[in-house]
Amino acid sequence: MAEAHQAVAFQFTITPEGIDLQLSYQALNQIYLSGVRSWKKRVSRMRNRVIKGVYPASPSSWLFVVIAILATMYMRSDPSMGLIAKIQQHLPLRYSHTSLLFSTLLWLSLILALRFCLKLLLSYHQWMFEQHGRISNTTKVWVTLVRLLSGRKPLLYSYQTSLPHLPVPGIKDTLSRYLESVRPLLTDVEFKRMTELGNQFESTLGNRLQRYLKLKALWATNYVSDWWEEYIYLRSRSPIMVNSNYYGMDFLYVTPTPVQAARAGNTITALLLYRRKVNREELKPVRLCTVIPLCAAQCERMFNTTRTPGVETDVLQHWQDSEFVAVYHKGRYFRLWVYQAGRLLSPREIEYQVQRILDDTSPPQPGEEKLGALTAGDRIPWSEMRKQHFSSGINKRSLDAIERAAFFVTLDDEEQGMKGEDPAGNLDRYAKSLLHGKCYDRWFDKSFSIVIYKNGKNGLNAEHSWADAPTVAHLWEYTLATDAFQLGYTEDGHCKGEVDRMLPRPQRLLWDIPSEVQTQVQSSLAVAQALANDVDCHIFPFVKFGKGRIKKLRISPDAFIQIALQLAYYRDRGGFCLTYEASMTRLFREGRTETVRSCSNESCAFVRALEDGEDECRRLFRLASDRHQNLYRMAMTGAGIDRHLFCLYVVSKYLGVDSPFLKEVLAEPWRLSTSQTPVQQMELFDLKNYPDFLSLGGGFGPVADDGYGVSYIIVGEEMINFHVSSKYSCGETHILLQHCPLSVLTSLLMFSLFMYS
């Protein structure tokens, strides 16, 4: 306990001779330097607030306006048209002070005008519906104006106040689009019934709910996001492991180092460097076509965040800063300080500290090893245990150390990756390990948990309520690239840098776990293991077919893959199903996702024609592709279906009225839930020059018990990687998984040969 002794700044004892005061100057110095770091962060935040507050102008532009006004006044001209004189009549100020006040007000007015104009420009979305290479003159002028008004060197959140609000679609339009989306899935009788339900809803309850929703849209930043976060994620009482959390994987072919502690050192460092960029807002805003900014609000809760359980609803807790990470290894929890004397530890020092944890042979305390299972099971028991046994004493202090940590790290004692005599099977096991692990060796409530395996492979498991996959993919892309190309390793696989061997050891977290909690841990573990054992995951890397060949067909790669998935599903099930594809609405402030209903009349017509060998397949395929692209664009621009209907349903619940139409729509199962993982968002390295550094992307569990979770990533020109999950308990989906690779690949090749013929 020498380190604990050194951490005490001062001690005193009372003796017969008087008070004996002992000061630890080393500890006092640490406190001082930590305070300096904290104040530097506050000053940086204040500076950024000022810069964002005047964007798209700059603080220096104020001086330009003041000088311009004073210069015109010196020339005996009144640019204020009498306003300065009127201000003097009401305020006892000197003429120079009045001029300065007028200049400041004029400057602020110009900023508001610029911001308003930029918001109007960013509300224009017709550019998305124009054919590639055929840009209208209107769009060309629009692009020029956006570039002019976007300012120079924007901070991460500079565009937030200039982004438009998500519009509320017309109820008639939403109902029409909904009925069109379900037409290929219903018989004539079923479709007629659903049409009557929709018409009845529109003529009775629908318009009333729509008025309330428009009222919310007037004062809310985003009429969907808060309800989506609460009712879809935080109010769910079932386990978030598998059902909500998702995973991201390491490079496919490359493991930068086989040394577990070294990989942990660089990974932790890269993540903390990313956090520093987020805090300082040094990350460039993500922009479509290098012009149109996307909302960056999801970055705010990326670090120092945890989901705390409740009886009715969970709560996301976020802290401004954290100087440590929580680490799990062989049943023990540690607090690993990553700052010393106000500075970030070097990668080599973090490796040194991680190695200390790996070398620690102390056994877990009673009830400690599987404590994480509480976060993997049902939410209500975890909430009750947390309130009863983790709200005071050493349990609260240790739980605080985990929840307030920058993020969670698991030092896994297994090896993973595409290795050995069964590379395909090992990839599947790698995915399952990241999705749920042993059900107790991840802390599923943290915003994200990093897993470092024994052979140097890594990965992450992310909680879903605070952000969507593209935001986490951006973080993970930076982490992998910084680890491999910026930080690097020595020839023997260790991190670079010097080591201060006087660093205090990582701190073991102490627990007092009563038998009641241990019983609940076993119960939650049983629930989680049943869920994990039922999940089947398969990874299908297609390395000889990618977007290069697809683009030669002048087809959207995403539309191409979605149609291929429809064909694969039809071949194995003999029909079609409601298909969910995640699209983003980050063109709008605080936007998250919208659903693209990929199973359309056009895609079904093409699949049937292709299976029947009809001659018009070429035309139908083009129609299906164009239709899918149009659906995706409509979802991105606020003209989707499902978020609008979801919010109408929430309003109906607040009003205490029932809608048979909305109830039936929201109960429809998504048997095919799909998502594309974005790649090369930051372009930190060129895949053409480093083809071995291909990312595997990530995946998620199935949404429906008899359905699939399909995630895919289009990497480079010659690779498409699929992550497909289902449940063993549904025999049909398990059978399909065995044929899915061949079916999808055959579909892609058939399309290619067909279109080239």
Handedness of CA 112, 116, 117, 118 (dihedral sign): positive
The neighbouring-strand residues paired with 246 are 462, 700
Count the neighbouring beta carbons within 10 Å of the beta carbon of residue 441.
24
Catalytic residue among 329, 464, 474, 628: 464
- Amino acid, single-letter form, for residue 98: T
Provide the token pair at 614. 């009809």
Residues 267-290, buried b or exposed e (16+ Cβ, 10 A)? bbbbbbbbbeebbebebebbeeee
At 432, give phi and psi (nearest 5°).
-65, -35
> Cα(695)–Cα(711) distance, rounded to whole angstroms?
13
- Amino acid, single-letter form, for residue 663: K
Provide the token pair at 671. 């048997």
Residue for token pair 């790649």: 679
Q: Let me know: does 222 contact 165? Beta carbons within 8 Å.
A: yes
Q: Let me know: does 590 contact 217? Beta carbons within 8 Å.
A: no
CA dihedral 115, 120, 122, 127 (to 10 degrees): -150
> Cα(255)–Cα(484) distance, rounded to whole angstroms?
9
Handedness of CA 189, 194, 197, 199 (dihedral sign): negative
Q: Where are the alpha helices (DSSP H) in 123-187?
A: 137-149, 171-182
Residue for token pair 């289902």: 726
Kindly provide the residue ranges of all beta strands, DSSP E only, lying in 275-368, ordered along the sequence. Answer: 287-288, 292-293, 305-308, 315-318, 324-329, 332-337, 339-340, 343-344
Q: Let me know: does 714 contact 557? Beta carbons within 8 Å.
A: yes
Residue 751, CB-side half-sphere exposure with 13 Å CA sphere: 35
CA dihedral 147, 151, 153, 154 (to 10 degrees): -100
Catalytic annotation on 739?
no
Q: Let me know: does 27 contact 504? Beta carbons within 8 Å.
A: no
> Cα(123)–Cα(118) distance, rounded to whole angstroms?
9
Residues 473-510, buried b or exposed e (16+ Cβ, 10 A)? bbbbbbbbbbbbeebebeeeebbebeeeeebebbbbbe
Q: Let me know: does 256 contact 483? Beta carbons within 8 Å.
A: yes
Spacing of C-alpha 352 from chain mean position = 31
Q: Let me know: does 743 contact 540? Beta carbons within 8 Å.
A: no
Q: What residues are annotated to the active site?
A: 464
